Structure 1
Amino acid sequence: MFALKSVNNLMLLRLNAKNLLKNRFFCSIQQDQNQIFTTAYCHFRQENYSKALEKLNQIQQTNSSNLDYLKLLAKAQIQQSQYEESLKTLEKIIEILPGDIETNVLMMEILEQLNDDVETQIDQIQDRIIQHNKEDEGQQVAVALMSLMEEDQISLIPNLLSNASTFQFEANRFLAYTILKDIFIRTNQIDNGIKILEEALQNCPSHLKDVYFELARFYRLQGDQQKELEALENCLAQNENQFDVLVELGYIYFTKGNVEKSQEYLKKAEQLENSHCKKFFYEAKILQVQNKLEESQKLLQKCLEFDENNLTPLVYNQIGVIHLQKGEIAKAQEMFFKALEINNEEAQVYFNIALSYNLTNNLQQAIDYYEKGLVLQPNNNSAILQKGILQIKQKNYKEAIDTFNDALKQTPENTDFLYHLARVYKLTYDKSKVMELCKKVLSINPNHKEANELLNSYKNN
């Protein structure tokens, strides 16, 4: 879902750019009788860039608007590390041929080599692209998409797409938001990702299904199950035959204790999916919800025989969860660590290992694995909460205070963090802090039973 469908085409475009350019030059050489240009081109093909530049400089004045000449000149200047001169040459090309993808990519690459303020220059280039290319906003998106393929160019993209909401065509807006969303996932900027997706809801009415699905993913990373549930319900409202959405909704409702609603969604999902490994995997999850653990485990083992979708780490993780449900902690950990051997970037596996250590009262190891998972999902509120609670159990009150205070910087109205921070201050005999925090919890949620009881215990003394 929400996939960048044009990535492959653009990658091919970039990979073939040099060959296309050479062909274009070759054709022009057949038509251009200027012997000097032909000689310059031959030098360039032979990687004798200084000679090529020498020849090209001889014909500079008479070819100032010839695109083949300008592109060859820019490339020769780049090869000779004449980046400032090459930028000027590329700017001339933009004036003649606004939105040329290869030219814009070359500009981005040159900026990486300069010592000047890159952000200022990228703003200036963006202004020029817009000025000369008002009718082809898609080129800006294409440049950003190509930059996304280069890890060291990612920081340039938000500036390039800062005006995405003003794009005339919805397809360009949707792709721009997709690119920005991907950056925020990579850089763990969950709040920014949610903000850009909420903007996409307003500006991409034809893609609501995909946007809601991604919003649910970001809320899951944030640890906000209720908002994840709402986003998935909105996603399903756009198309009721979404297998993955039905399964996720089934599980969320099950964890919230609404078994009837859970089975309703899971039954619909079961009717939709007919593939091998994926079918076994989700059928196993359905059985797991129904507490048919042995049957579920057998299907998961079957998944490993038909793994056509690289689900093996998820399968091991799910088998581990079943062992946890059965109270078989050692077997559960064996499965979780197998999952990590295949994919060590799945935060949920670390959180499950942490839970297994918590169940065996190995509190420090549990905290260590929550922290490892939080490196991958730093805004997972559920994991942060469990880490803080374990620090309280260890009587590491200072660490617990730091954990909750750091979390509250991101979510200042999270009543779980506020209440448990009040608990820590109760244990450190800071009455004023306890009362202050409990009052804040009750101002957000007047029905918070535990905060009300804690506050009353001080009022009555």
Structure 2
Amino acid sequence: MLKRNNIILVLFYIQFANINAQHIEIGDNLFAAGFYNKAIENYLLSKENIKEFKIAKVHEANGDYVNALKNLENYIAVDSLNTLVNFMYGKTVLQLKKLKKAIATFEKLTEENENPTYFYYLGLAYEQDLKILEAVKTFQKVIELDNFHLKSNYKIALFEMRAERWEKAMAIIEKILKQQPQNTDFISLKAQCLYGKSDFKNAKKHLNI
């Protein structure tokens, strides 16, 4: 009798898990198809904590960072160690200009994993918090980890130009353009750099490309 009851209990848990998984899967399909409200409705039917992260992603896609943050905080209250959730939390609080929280989150992530993307967002948080020296060092760290990280190279080239270190800026710009000669962002930077060096003829040439 006891064995029979255990089997029934196991079958009940399997059915329960399957139902929760179905709600998540249906929500994922609706989200992918662009039915945001319907996706949230299905996620809410699940009892799994992952639904909070899933709903947060829907809110993020819809530009609703306030509600995305609420769901991320709900998830983290249960599981604070999920790296992917913490990364999204960092990006969300950065979007909402909660800079101290963003910096603390990305600093912790970079301590755990030298991922260039984590360092890039940490640099953005420092920059927005007007910690320019820390931002520059962090963007340079990104380039050490990924030499052709476009956004970090762009940031450093821009910082060098603002400091009127034209040759250093140009070296970064040429490095990227050698790999991507049609990159309009760096072509524009090159024109600005040439203009800063008073090379107006070549500056105009690059502006007209």
1:329 positional shift? 1.3
Give the aligned partner of residue 194 of structure 2.
Answer: 425
**Residue 405 of structure 1 is aligned with which of 174, 194, 197?**
174
Taking CA–CA contacts closer than 8 Å with sequence separation of 6 or more, which of the two structures ends up with the larger relative contact order?
A: 2
Change (3 A) 1:418 1:304: same
Change (3 A) 1:384 1:434: same
Find out whether 1:302 has 2:71 as its counterpart: no
Mapping of 1:188-207 within 5 angstroms?
Answer: none
SS at match of 1:379: coil
1:414 positional shift? 0.7
Find out whether 1:312 has 2:82 as its counterpart: yes
Change (3 A) 1:275 1:397: farther
Q: 1:408-451: CA deviations, max 9, x gaps? A: 11111111111111101101101232133223xx3xxxxxxxxx
Change (3 A) 1:425 1:280: same
Give the aligned partner of residue 414 of structure 1.
Answer: 183
**Residue 323 of structure 1 is aligned with which of 93, 110, 121?**
93
Mapping of 1:242-261 within 5 angstroms?
Answer: 243=28
**Residue 349 of structure 1 is aligned with which of 87, 102, 118?**
118
Q: Counterparts of 1:299 and 1:331 in 2: how far apart (Å)? A: 16
Q: 1:142-170: CA deviations, max 9, x gaps? A: xxxxxxxxxxxxxxxxxxxxxxxxxxxxx
Give the aligned partner of residue 386 of structure 1.
Answer: 155
**Residue 280 of structure 1 is aligned with which of 48, 52, 59?**
52
**Residue 437 of structure 1 is aligned with which of 199, 206, 209?**
206
1:385 positional shift? 2.0
Q: 1:262-309: CA deviations, max 9, x gaps? A: x926557657865834432131132234454443223212323554xx
Q: 1:198-221: CA deviations, max 9, x gaps? A: xxxxxxxxxxxxxxxxxxxxxxxx
Give the aligned partner of residue 25 of structure 1.
Answer: none
Look up the equivalent residue of 2:188 and give its one-letter code.
Answer: Y
Q: 1:115-161: CA deviations, max 9, x gaps? A: xxxxxxxxxxxxxxxxxxxxxxxxxxxxxxxxxxxxxxxxxxxxxxx
Look up the equivalent residue of 2:59 and give its one-letter code.
Answer: L
Change (3 A) 1:312 1:409: same
* CA contact 2:27–2:38 (8 Å) conserved in 1: no
Q: Counterparts of 1:405 and 1:269 in 2: how far apart (Å)? A: 46
Q: Counterparts of 1:417 and 1:285 in 2: how far apart (Å)? A: 32
Please report the TM-score for the alignment, with normalisation by the length of structure 2: 0.70
Q: Which runs of 5+ in 2 are unaligned?
A: 1-25
Mapping of 1:233-248 within 5 angstroms?
Answer: 243=28
Give the aligned partner of residue 340 of structure 1.
Answer: 110
Q: Counterparts of 1:407 and 1:268 in 2: how far apart (Å)? A: 44
Give the aligned partner of residue 369 of structure 1.
Answer: 138
RMSD: 3.2
Change (3 A) 1:331 1:305: closer
Q: Counterparts of 2:88 and 2:117 in 1: how far apart (Å)? A: 11
SS at match of 2:34: helix
Q: Counterparts of 2:34 and 2:151 in 1: how far apart (Å)? A: 26
SS at match of 1:395: coil
Change (3 A) 1:346 1:280: farther
Change (3 A) 1:430 1:316: same
Q: How many residues align?
A: 182
* CA contact 2:123–2:138 (8 Å) conserved in 1: yes
Q: After TM superposition, where is structure 1 displaced by more than 4 Å over at least 4 residues in a row?
A: 241-244, 265-275
